[in-house]
Structure 1
Amino acid sequence: MKTYFALLLYSLSIVGMGYFLPREAFIPQLSLFSLGFCAYLFLVQASKKRNYSFVFILISASVLRFLLIGAWPVLSDDFYRYFFDGQLIGYGINPYAYLPSGLLESGAIPANNYWETLVTKMNSPSYFSVYPPLHQLVFWISTWVGEDIYLNILSLRSIVFLFELVNLWLIKNILSNLKLPGYRLAWYAFNPLVIMEVTGNLHFEGMVLTGLLIALYYYSQNHEKLTALGWSLAVGLKLSPMLIAPVWLSAWNKTSFFKFVFISSISLLILFAPLIFGGQLTNFYTSFRLYQSSFEFNASIYYLLRWISGLFIDYNPIGTLGPSLNFIAAALLLGIGIMRKSMNTTDLASKMVWMYLVFLLLQTTVHPWYLIPALGLSIFTANKLFIAWSGLVFLSYHAYMGQDYNEHIWVVFTEYTLLFTMAVLLIRYRQSATLEDGSETRTVLDKL
């Protein structure tokens, strides 16, 4: 009975956030998210104690996601660019070749309410698209239903929902292969950040996780070719999984490594062929670099360094600090990647999680949905830091409270202070206490 009551409260929080509250209503949104997160923790513990079946978790998690099937994405406006790029492909126009604002003014696209809404409401009309070709393919498919934004949303959400079902199935099978407790599936299945950002706000990190889970699953089967295909799928959707590339240096013996590199190279060449051979690689790279050196949101180390530099200079140092932090991140990720040869699947997942953590802490922009791939991978490790962070990162939406964007550093400081405190607990109080099945290392954060 308590489980069903928790599911009811959770459902009410999701419906309230998805249908009745705008992004500007931060306090009510945060309150409902907190309610959902408490219900989430209860459901995980209930799954652990009562050993709920995969079918029960699958159906419950699917219902929670399905509640948002008709909702407008309220926490993000990225979807306007999705549908704009997808429609361009349908018109035979290369989305990397033109700026949205310029196309509308030139008359190359219809001057109707649909197109004008897409352009005026997207957050980057003066930037070339930075979404990889495989990403663009999904955009295009979602626009097959016509020039209707709501139908486009329903179409894309259906695709996202199907990938989420695949994720749940993959997690269940990986847990079984690794002889890890089945209840761990609940850590991903019921997570409110995952539900709101993937199903609700239509972000593709859930699909990215699908590729990483495929890679992890086939790595556990010692199948380097399909592992390479899974990782390539993730990179083909978003470039961010490239950050874990160094992990493969220590994951294979020499023969398997060369097979992996060959297959992944061919796969990535095919996936990025429209961009590489379409003559628009410069536009893509220009916008990508502008993003890296112009945008800042919910950062940690970067904000600290920006504050320190402000004591000596009177301009925003993002143009220098952004690339410098990326260089440091690359060096650290390479170091983590080459450490410790002969890893098992759990070790590999753990490395990936820590690499994501290092990368995100050194970025100038950390949107809440960026956490989702690492959160999904952490299911197979004792590291609960991303689960804790998924409850804290919603604080970043305070910047949209009111009519004008305004990020308060003290809120960001609170988020990262709590996160670093939990990281210290994880590192300092880790205790090796093998369970009866020898599958798990327990820490104080396992009680979260």
Structure 2
Amino acid sequence: MERRLTNAFGILTIISAVLYGWFFSLARKDFSNLLVIYILLFIAFLGYNYISKKGTQENLKLFPNFLGKWFYGSSLIGGIFFIGLILRLLLIDNTPHLSQDFFRFIWDGHQLLNGYNPYLYLPDDIIKSGASHIPNATFIHTSMGELSSGHYTNYPPLNQLFFAIAAWLGDESILATIIWMRLFLILADIGIFIYSIKLLKLLGKPMWFIALYFLNPFVIIELTGNLHWEGMMAFLLLASIYYLFSLKKWQSVLSMSYGILLKLLPVISLPLLFRRLKFKKAILYYLAVAIVVMIGFAPFVSQDLLNKYASSVGLWFGNFEFNASIYYIIRAIGYQVTGYNIIQTVGRILPVITLVIILGISFIRKNEFPEILLSSIVFSFFTYLLLSTTVHPWYLVIPLLFSIFTRYRFMLVWSFTIFLSYSAYSSENFTENNWFIAIEYILVLFIFIFELFLTKTILPESKGEITNH
């Protein structure tokens, strides 16, 4: 039995490696073939998880014992790590094709390297001025697309620092800069692996649950493949929560602050910590986070920054729309009532509703208990996404990661169905397929409701403390 499981793990790895190579050889508009490969990758992923679960019961040894000692004495966990790492490294020199955001990352990196405040200059204006401080400027400007080149950057300071380091290391080579960015994101995933194992151990949960994230094709494609920095943000937020449970408050504060300085979204989790920290400690925690974040923004602060950064962030709520759920229903009703798109109005109201729901989750749920706090993080980000006007696939990373520490698996379903949103890129006008969007969300909401209500008495959330500090 053990040999069969080991052989199956190896065969799945060979198949997955071939599928990833095939996947990244196709153009974004070739949606049908991409979808077939994605489905096959998910089947392989389910196979990995079956073997991991079975292997835990059988004490399966995928790697020599001396490697297993690095992973809490489990060579199965070592096997999951090395297979996940190999699949990521296979993509090391791949140029992303499902997203062109990385061109803006490179652009901003060179802006900062050359002493320009990246928040104050439009790429369009830089090109018109004839400035020559950005290598391959014309190609990068054209490749990032009009949506990016015509708007101010919205990536926070720590993200800008990573862009600049990668641009410095990559110099004038776009490919070298891509490789350095990819290495940073792979290191973030390794950090997620290590802290996830630590947290699963603290919670007394099976360590093989890390495979639900680390071997997930969604994670490998969107983070390592497409160079989205949500993986780094997820690592910093995970480290912050782990340190919080381990009673290392200052490490938690710094990790949380760095997460916000990389992407703003970890602020969603701050109200959820209130009951865990209690009143006085919570106020001190929030104050410390605010100070670190302000220090991070300080080198860039000006009146221009406040105006341009706010307008850039505001675009995501009042102008852009993609792969939304509840918003699209409201928009359709709005068309019937008013005859025009009411995104400007709805884009201001939905964030308020999101905030109210998150505050409700923060103060009504018993977030002093670890597993309930972790599931509250999942629910809060899930709420944010359901009420957003724009939901790109990589936005799912945080709730997907934190779901592995809970009894909920609806985010795994969404990490599969969200690939349907890429169908929009198969048409010249980037027209979304409403049937695909309906399938995507109906399946996810069905599983969510089933897990939330129908399985509550079978698999209740734990209210116990972590097993050790």
Shorter chain as denominator, the TM-score bin is over 0.9
d(CA) in 2 for partners of 1:246, 1:316: 33
- Indicate the larger mover: 133-142 or 259-268: 259-268
Instruction: Say whether 1:85 aligns with 2:108.
Output: yes
Instruction: Say whether 1:120 aligns with 2:152.
Output: no
CA-to-partner distance for each residue in 1:68-111, whole Å, 9 max, x for gaps?
11111011000010000000111111111111001111122358
SS of 2:149's equivalent in the other structure is coil
Give the corresponding residue for 1:46.
51
1:304 Cα deviation after fit: 0.5
Instruction: Say whether 1:136 aligns with 2:160.
Output: yes
Give the corresponding residue for 1:443.
none
d(CA) in 2 for partners of 1:339, 1:118: 48
Give the corresponding residue for 1:173.
198
SS of 1:297's equivalent in the other structure is coil
- Indicate the larger mover: 258-267 or 197-206: 258-267
Q: Structure 1 residues 184 and 311 mapped into 2: Cα distance closer, same or farther (>3 Å)?
A: same
- Indicate the larger mover: 243-252 or 102-111: 102-111
Q: 1:406 aligns with which of 431, 436, 439?
A: 431
d(CA) in 2 for partners of 1:211, 1:432: 33
SS of 2:155's equivalent in the other structure is coil
Identical aligned pairs, as a percentage?
Answer: 33
Q: Structure 1 residues 339 and 428 mapped into 2: Cα distance closer, same or farther (>3 Å)?
A: closer
Structure 1: segments with no counterpart, 5+ residues: 441-448
d(CA) in 2 for partners of 1:357, 1:434: 20
Aligned residue runs from structure 1 range 48-447, under 5 A: 48-51=53-56, 53-110=76-133, 114-123=136-145, 124-144=148-168, 145-277=170-302, 279-341=304-366, 343-433=368-458
Partner AA of 1:405 in structure 2: F
d(CA) in 2 for partners of 1:188, 1:41: 12
d(CA) in 2 for partners of 1:299, 1:252: 34
1:266 Cα deviation after fit: 1.8
RMSD: 1.9
Structure 2: segments with no counterpart, 5+ residues: 1-6, 61-75
Instruction: Say whether 1:14 aligns with 2:23.
Output: no
Is the CA contact (8 Å cut-off) linking 1:179 and 1:439 kept in structure 2? no
SS of 1:143's equivalent in the other structure is helix
Partner AA of 2:331 in structure 1: R
Is the CA contact (8 Å cut-off) linking 1:104 and 1:116 kept in structure 2? yes
1:171 Cα deviation after fit: 0.5
1:277 Cα deviation after fit: 4.8
1:7 Cα deviation after fit: 1.6
SS of 1:70's equivalent in the other structure is coil
Partner AA of 2:15 in structure 1: L
Q: 1:31 aligns with which of 12, 36, 40?
A: 36
CA-to-partner distance for each residue in 1:40-73, whole Å, 9 max, x for gaps?
1110121011025221111011011111111110
d(CA) in 1 for partners of 2:422, 2:221: 13
1:258 Cα deviation after fit: 3.0
1:222 Cα deviation after fit: 2.0
d(CA) in 2 for partners of 1:75, 1:347: 35
Give the corresponding residue for 2:72.
none
d(CA) in 2 for partners of 1:394, 1:302: 19
Q: Structure 1 residues 65 and 439 mapped into 2: Cα distance closer, same or farther (>3 Å)?
A: farther
d(CA) in 2 for partners of 1:421, 1:93: 49
Query: Normalization by structure 2: what TM-score?
Result: 0.90
Q: Structure 1 residues 111 and 375 mapped into 2: Cα distance closer, same or farther (>3 Å)?
A: closer
d(CA) in 1 for partners of 2:336, 2:120: 41
Is the CA contact (8 Å cut-off) linking 2:45 and 2:217 kept in structure 1? yes
d(CA) in 2 for partners of 1:147, 1:169: 34
1:432 Cα deviation after fit: 3.7
- Indicate the larger mover: 268-277 or 89-98: 268-277
Give the corresponding residue for 1:3.
9
Q: How many residues align?
A: 437
d(CA) in 2 for partners of 1:239, 1:266: 15
CA-to-partner distance for each residue in 1:347-372, whole Å, 9 max, x for gaps?
21111000011110000000000001
Q: Structure 1 residues 241 and 38 mapped into 2: Cα distance closer, same or farther (>3 Å)?
A: same
d(CA) in 2 for partners of 1:306, 1:279: 33
Is the CA contact (8 Å cut-off) linking 1:398 and 1:407 kept in structure 2? yes
d(CA) in 1 for partners of 2:382, 2:226: 23
1:438 Cα deviation after fit: 10
Q: Structure 1 residues 434 and 218 mapped into 2: Cα distance closer, same or farther (>3 Å)?
A: same
d(CA) in 1 for partners of 2:287, 2:256: 13
1:322 Cα deviation after fit: 1.1
Partner AA of 1:33 in structure 2: Y
1:186 Cα deviation after fit: 0.5
1:263 Cα deviation after fit: 2.1
1:262 Cα deviation after fit: 2.9
1:295 Cα deviation after fit: 0.7
d(CA) in 2 for partners of 1:25, 1:350: 37
